[in-house]
Amino acid sequence: MKLLEDKILQEGNVLGEDILKVDGFINHQVDISLMEEIGRDMAEHFKDAGVTKVFTIESSGIAPSVFTAKELGVPLVILKKQNPKTLRTEVWQTEVVSYTKNTSYQLTLAKNYISDSDHILIIDDFLANGEAATGAIRLIRKAHATVAGLGVLIEKAFQPGHEKLESQGIHVYAQASIKAFENGKVVF
């Protein structure tokens, strides 16, 4: 998606060999117009996939997921990184290791927000090693629902996530695919 690639080139900040900071338009300050276009593009890509719900993991995937779910006309479910005290229902949980933060967390889904008839589109901001997406897929499969696909804003094609997920039969759609970071610059 050229609009997203241009925004990354203009405002993204490469940190080291494998981190891209996009907090000025995706996850700290959110560019609403960009998110609306991202949601429209995601929905167009997955319009014939039979999506019944959009799932995302808090918090960076929320903004693009809202617009994707709105365009598809389906509910949005936000997977939690911890079990909130106010969540007074049975849950599905799985452990996920965060590549960026080098920590692990219990990804949590309330059982009443998924059924075995759901066909779920997962939306996330980044795809690197595929750990977060794999965790979401485990939760979906625990509930005997199916995965319509994974839509990511930015994939680091030099890391194994895309290949790992596609080898499991998951359709992955990346709006911006980064080949490398060279001399502090993004190469698509």
**Residue 130 annotated in ligand binding:** yes
Angle at 137 between CA 133 and CA 140, to 5 degrees: 140
Which tokens go with 9? 């080139």
49-80 burial: b if 16+ Cβ within 10 Å, else e: bebbbbbbbeebbbbbbbbbbebbebebbbbb
**Residue 132 annotated in ligand binding:** yes
**Residue 27 annotated in ligand binding:** yes
**Residue 102 annotated in ligand binding:** no
**Residue 128 annotated in ligand binding:** yes
**Residue 63 annotated in ligand binding:** no
For 110, phi then psi, to 5°, come to -70, 130
* Residue 157: how many other CB atoms lie within 10 Å: 19
**Residue 83 annotated in ligand binding:** no
**Residue 111 annotated in ligand binding:** no
Contact between 93 and 152 (Cβ < 8 Å):
no
Q: Which residues are annotated as a binding site for xanthine?
A: 20, 27, 156
Q: Which residues are annotated as a binding site?
A: 20, 27, 128-132, 156
Q: Which residues are annotated as a binding site for 5-phospho-alpha-D-ribose 1-diphosphate?
A: 128-132
